[in-house]
Chains A and B, each alone.
Chain A
Amino acid sequence: MRWYTADLHIHTCLSPCGDLLMSPKKIVAEAAARKLEIIAITDHNSAMNVSAVTNAASEIGIVVLPGMEVCTREEVHVLTIFDNIPAAMELQKTVYLHLRGKNDPQAFGDQVIANEYDEVEGFEPRLLIGATDITIENLVSTVNQLHGLAIASHIDRESFSVIGQLGFIPDTVQFDALEISANTSDEDASARFRSYSQYPFIRNSDAHFLNDIGKQKSRFFIEEATVQEIADALRNENRRMIQTVN
């Protein structure tokens, strides 16, 4: 076992708010420059660019975990992370069934589907910035059934965080971790969220621009870069552990 450096919350040019330079090859190159070993690709309500980034990373030796940042009915952002692309695509199928509206690129930005050579394959027409009508409980249980991780995004932010939207974390959901953003120090986070001390905290960049990648990250003491190992580390089990880097 050893320490792996990870950033498990990265958007691509598919997210309407993601910079167009967030293309598969550029993301992987930036992650390598930042010495990240595990990254998760988590666009808003879609996993369409996950395989392109995975392929772009294959020769560089960075592990890409497929995922999605899903917006629930309560407008809570939940980070979902899987071991394999079919699981992420399965969740995407459910998300697409529960997502309404068409994107207006002028208002929200382009939603570029790219290939591993950084070429434009197409544009996603759905309104990815919108909210699904999946309840937070149903989302987390669907993710659990697909053996994925469900992490509450940026809980220290007012907008789109579980605490901002719902006042507190309902006891009807069990997250694998709570994400703290760059806005809040470790000390402030442990004081402000002391009622959630049973939860592990994780730091990720939530990068929408290349130079944000790896600015916030976590280190995992694990055997290999799999969801199961990361889950053990988050629970501090089997000698696996997590350490946030601020």
Chain B
Amino acid sequence: MSKTVEAYIEEISKDFSSIELSVDNYGMHNAFITKDEIYGVIEKLKEAGFNFLTDLTGSHYPENEGQEFQVVYHLHHFYDNLRIRLKVNLSKDHLEVPSITDLYAGANWMERETFDFYGIQFSNHPNLSRILNVDDMDYHPMRKEFALEDETREDKEDKYFGR
């Protein structure tokens, strides 16, 4: 019988006080962690066998004051086939989390993408520059304050679109 996600989290929770584990409606394990502990938690989980970083991305909730941004990590335990989602809430004034590129090489481009689209800083990242958008773009387009439409176009007048 292989271990459960709860058992893995139980093992490390004595070192990390901020872990709040829950299970969502789809059976996926969710853990909220503070940004000071996230690096240590991921390091320990990797040692425990969560050896694959499925995804790393961000999200923006402008209405959550003090926790406007979130960095989301998806880890996969290949041996026990377990998945866990780790979330770090960030305030828009302190948009910085430690980079995990030294744990997972695959995090490199995903952190660059998260920086590109949300402006979240990853400290100790070897090359935190834009990866998908044009280099001279001066904003982070997935933030909610920017319209999805291209704001630079001149030929779209609101009156043609009933606005």
A-B interaction: no
Which A residues contact B (CB, under 8 angstroms)? none
Which B residues contact A (CB, under 8 angstroms)? none
